[in-house]
Amino acid sequence: MIGTMDTYIEIEESIETKNALNEPEITWQLVTPAWASKRLKSSSEGAADDQLNSKGIYELKLHYEPEIKDDRRINIDGEYFNIIGHDHQFRKWTIVTIERTSYERRC
């Protein structure tokens, strides 16, 4: 951990395997861990039919990390975030935009 990079993240990639019935199954495996700073960019809540939903969009800043790709995901303390964009600034920093959407059924 260095300065404001106080969030431990794990970059994960999906792996397709076969289950006991020879059906395709997606599992996730660790690619690399890293330290990052995390900043909330926007959040929203809404309701549709019988569901409540929320969305949070965050920006991560970390040292240059070539393993960041849009088809991977970020794990932060067991919460999973989709990568929706990334930029490698002068091969010094990597800026990653991630989102987390959750749904909850109304009672």
Answer yes or no: is pLDDT of 106 > 70: no
Of 15 and 1, more confident: 15
pLDDT 10s digits, 30-69? 999 999 999 999 999 988 888 888 999 999 999 999 899 9
Domain residue spans in the chain?
A: 7-105
The share of the chain scoring above pLDDT 70, in percent, equals 96
Close Cβ partners of 43 (under 8 Å, ≥ 6 residues apart): 54, 55, 56, 57
Confidence of residue 89 (pLDDT cuts 50, 70, 90): confident
Of 83 and 47, more confident: 83
What is the fold of 7-105?
Answer: Thrombin, subunit H (2.40.10)
